[in-house]
Each structure stands twice: as structure tokens, then as C-alpha cells.
Structure 1
């Protein structure tokens, strides 16, 4: 563990347990660490740390950047997974992916206990969009929470159009085409092509209404 500078800005990064989310979020955390006076902690599990640990070790040893990790214990045995299976990607079998997600949901108490720890100082939380409950945690701590989205800014523009114009609610059926409002070029889509979290209100639908950072244009 690195010692915190008394006047440094302390930022916690909490990536989702999928490689497509971990890699771009860690890249962003490393960019934050380039700036002097910023102290970075990345929260992850032991099975995922190997994806990026060498990179942040080099950032610290070669460049003196204040960046480190905090390790969580993934409940593999409790959800019926072999030890070390703590993430998923496009090749993960569906039955195993569901168990990884079940274990992911069980990480919340560990993360909260760490964030509310008596000795921890934190000024900002940057958490993946799959951690909607970190909004409430940040509110209790009196600090900002920034949402990390590995998707593109273009996709966010489309989502914002749906939120503001609600065009998808004004068509007669799921198969009727409609034009997405507010884009510089005409783009048509059907309601059938939309993800459920746009068509229906749920806890992940709220995740986009706070400060956002994106992994790509």
C-alpha cells in the first residue's frame, strides 16, 4: 500500500468484472494518476488483478505515480464456481456467466465496508455503470460519484435522445421505424432493436443520469 499525500485528491475506481470493462477503466485510472496530486485506488478481485497489475506496478516504480489496488475476496465457492473464475467475456459459457454475476452481486458489502472504513479518505468515486448503488454510497460520504461507461459517446447521444424526446413511445408497434431525434444525420430504428433498460424503467436505467466518462468516442 502506498502512503497518501496529505493534500492529494483521492479517487477510487471500481470496474465491473468483465475484461471489456476492466481494461478501459484501468487505462482511465492510469491517466488520472499521471497528474500530480492525484492518488488512485482500483478496487478489484484477486482473479482479475492479473489483467493489469504489471502496468500499474510500472507506473509506480518507473514513474512514481500514486496508484494501487485494493483486493476483494470473490465468493467463488458460494456460487459454485472453481477458485479463480471471477470474470467473464464473450467466450464464457452462459451457465458460468450467471454464476459470476451472482458472485458480483455479493461483492457490494465488501466494497461498502471498505469505502466506509474509518481510516479511508476518499474525495471521489468512479464506478462502472453496473454499480448503481454507489450513487447512494457517494451521497452518504458527501462526495461525487462519476459513472464510467465503456460504450461510445455516440451511443450516449442516442440514449439521451430517447430520454428527452421519447420517440420510441410514440410508435404503434415494435416493428414501426422512427427517426432518432437530434442527430446530424437521419438514423431510423425500431423499438424492437432497443435494449430493455431503455424501453423499461429499472435500476440500471438511472445509471446514465449522473456525471459520465466514456471509454471511447
Structure 2
């Protein structure tokens, strides 16, 4: 008899982590897995509030789809009113101590569910290593990032031993100093590709230590999955650069794309989404709109936001701008005087939106982005070229590879070495015009449409990601049978 497979999926708190892990959970549920999805109480509450539903209504929706699904939550140790993005180091320190709590919650949960087959852990949850060991199941490490960043982060302590970390200020400005000692046959890595929290000039001891700790535990895994596709990042050889002691390492992404291609928009938001922007997009000419969005944690100075606004105004193109109220370094955003009136006929500003639906809309011709991995993948999958303005973590290598390796985007000169550099309205204007018209923009579109096709083929039956996911499922079946 076929054993019932039970995957415990544990997600970091944060939009960029919950979304891919929830989509992956659905892919497994479609293949007959019983899913226990675990995240923090704060994250779960945000998801429910944004969707305007309670936990019972959510459970019914999954049951109606034929999924065997349950949600468990764990406290993160912070008071409800505390922001979870203001001090990343503090948050990660708290997450690293959640192992005993997670184990207690799992052991106290309903015993009528099938035995746990594996723990699928967000790659930045080191606390799951001890839990998997104590329960006696394999720990599957799931990277919500690109392979290149995953290899960089996994080898952070090695880079430290070789003198590449912490990154010196003079190295950030050097085009000659390249890192070629990493596994996976990556393109040469520049010091500016490394995460900003490894930079000497503004190291926070808390976050620096937290991520070096995560790097050590990221080498403890029985199986590795990456939310990317082989055709984008060098095939199986690149993924094997993540393999620890020969454990399997497979690209199984983009994990949201199978749902999207079948007309199911399974995207999970922690913010209430504006529903009017799609109607506004319907009224715009095909390929004419610049979509501007810099994620849920990026902040800019008030002066920088003014320069950005004036550059958007000067470019002459219609734009849809996702502008969080707290984006001005925690203050309420104040735009240049008269800006709203001067651009009202060709601009729409919203607090949050359904990004995938926006990027897939025919009127959208470009994406001004922070280059988070979810946003980068969605732009590639929808065939929308990018302007990258990285702010944190993996965004720097995503931006650089988008421009120099995959050749599907542009960047803003100098922000890779100084994320706080003032970008003038003139630079904003000229970069947008390069993206939206002329030979540069045309070539970017040609390149990204080829990758869009490759991504679609990868997740279809017979494609590389589809086959890799089947391999993972088959391996879990063999494991479960061996324990019967």
C-alpha cells in the first residue's frame, strides 16, 4: 500500500518566504501529501486579516480543493505591536531559539494525522535542524532565493576565512576583485554581489552574527530544493554547488507558476491589496505602463523619494506606483508639492497591489523593482524587463545577474556599492526611457521572453522543474516505505 506522506513545512515570517512555501505546499498537496504548515502567530494573523477571513474559512477553502492541510502557529517572542522588519538581526536571533517551541507544538498537535515524513524548512530557520534530528526525520532545506545567493550564503563562513567578508569599502568600488572560489560554477561574483549586512562600513553585530550562524546550519541538510529553474541558473551542476555531503539538490521552481498557468492565482499577501488598479491598467495602452514597487521593507529618505517622484513625472510614461505610507524611513510619505495634480492623468499610486496580476497585464511594459527574488522571478515569468534598485540581502546579486548574466534588466549606476546613494531625477528619467523605448529596451524584451518560455516549459509535464519535483516526491515515498 502507498504510505500517506506528511510534510511539515516551516516558514520564516515575511511575504517573500510565506508565498513560495505556501505555493510549494499546494504542489505537494496536489500530489497527495498531508501538509502541516507552520509559521509565527503574527504572520498567520496578518495573512488572515489581509484576506478578510478567519482560520475556519481558510481551512474550508483548502478542504473544498481536496487538500489535506492544517495550519499551526508558534509565538515569535515579540509583543503584537512590535514591527517585524525594523530590526532584522533581532528577529533572526528570536527565530534561532524557537526549536523547542516548534517541537512542542508538533508533538502536541492532533495525533490522528499521519506520521511526519520530512520537515521542509525555510533555509533561514536553523532551529529546525535540531527538531528534525529529535523527531528522526530528514530536514529538507528550501531556498526561497536564487541558487547564486544560496551558494554565497551557505559559504559565508568560508568567504570569511578567505578574507572576502567583511567586505571592505575599497573592494566595493573595485571592478577587478572577483570571487571565483565558490562551487556550482557560478559566474564570477563581485564584492557588491554579497549581501549588504556583510559590508564592513555598516555591519550590525547582531545581524552579522545571526547570518553567519545560519550559514553554518545551512550546511546541515538531507535534501535541498531551490525555487528556481535549471535553464536560468546553470542546470543541475549549479544546484549541486549547494549539496552537502552529496545530498540531492534540485531546482523545482517557479513554484507559483503551475497554479498561475492553470488560472489559479494562489498568492498569499500580508497586506490588503488594492483592487482598482487592474481597471486603471485596462484603460492604458499596451506595453505603456511602468510598474514601480520596492517591496515591504525597503525605505528611502524623503529627499530620495522626491527625486524618484520627479523622475517618474519627467519620464512621460504612465506609471503605477506601490508606495507604502511608511516608506520614507518610517515617516509618512510626503511627495513633491503639486506632483499628484501634475501626474493625475497618467499615474496611479496605491499602498499595495496584486503584483502577479499587474505584471501579467498587457499594458505593463516595465518594472522598477528592488529585485527581491519573488519579484525578479515574476518579472521573468511574465516577460517584463526590469530596472533594479536593490536595498538588502539577495537583491544585489539578483539585480546584477538580471543585468549582466541574464540580460533582462538595467540598474542604477553606483547603488550596488552604496545602497544609500542619492539617485537624481535625471538618472531616474533617463533609465526609465532606456527601458521603455529604443534598441536597449527591445533587446531586453527579446531576452526576457525567451526566459519566460523556458520557465513555462520547466514547470510543465516533462519539464526540468516538473521532473525534479517528481524525483523529490518519489524519494519521499521510498523513505516512507522503508519505515513501514
TM-score by length of 1: 0.68
Tell me the residue number matched to 1:8. 4
Unmatched tracts of structure 2, length 5 or more = 49-54, 199-206, 230-484
Tell me the residue number matched to 1:3. none
Cα 1:134–1:127 change in 2 (3 A) is same
2:29 pairs with 1:33: yes
Unmatched tracts of structure 1, length 5 or more = 1-5
Contact 1:168/1:178, CA 8 A, preserved across alignment: no
Contact 1:46/1:74, CA 8 A, preserved across alignment: yes
1:3-30 deviation per Cα after TM superposition (whole angstroms, max 9, x unaligned): xxx9311110110111111111111111
Please, which of 47, 55, 58 is the counterpart of residue 61 of structure 2? 58
1:50-70 deviation per Cα after TM superposition (whole angstroms, max 9, x unaligned): 527677653321x21111201
- Measure how far apart 1:103 and its partner are: 5.4
- Distance in 1 separating the partners of 2:131 and 2:194: 34
Cα 1:201–1:162 change in 2 (3 A) is closer
Contact 1:12/1:43, CA 8 A, preserved across alignment: yes
Tell me the residue number matched to 2:188. 187
Report the more deviating stretch, 116-125 or 188-197.
Answer: 188-197
**In terms of Rg, which structure is larger?**
2
Contact 2:157/2:212, CA 8 A, preserved across alignment: no
Q: How does 1:15-94 map to 2 (within 5 A)?
A: 15-36=11-32, 38-49=33-44, 50-51=46-47, 57-61=60-64, 63-77=65-79, 81-82=80-81, 88=84, 92=85, 94=86
Cα 1:9–1:179 change in 2 (3 A) is same
Higher relative contact order (CA 8 A, sep 6+): 1
- Distance in 1 separating the partners of 2:118 and 2:31: 15
1:164-186 deviation per Cα after TM superposition (whole angstroms, max 9, x unaligned): 8x698177x94270242467675
Contact 2:7/2:35, CA 8 A, preserved across alignment: yes
Cα 1:65–1:106 change in 2 (3 A) is same
TM-score by length of 2: 0.34
2:99 pairs with 1:139: no
Report the more deviating stretch, 46-55 or 104-113.
Answer: 46-55
Tell me the residue number matched to 1:109. 100
Report the more deviating stretch, 203-212 or 43-52.
Answer: 43-52
2:168 pairs with 1:169: no
- Distance in 1 separating the partners of 2:186 and 2:224: 24
1:152-172 deviation per Cα after TM superposition (whole angstroms, max 9, x unaligned): 1232345578788x698177x
Contact 1:168/1:191, CA 8 A, preserved across alignment: no
Report the more deviating stretch, 118-127 or 50-59.
Answer: 50-59
What's the RMSD between the two structures over aligned residues? 4.0
Contact 2:9/2:35, CA 8 A, preserved across alignment: yes
- Measure how far apart 1:136 and its partner are: 1.9
Cα 1:200–1:131 change in 2 (3 A) is closer
Q: Which has the higher strand share?
A: 1
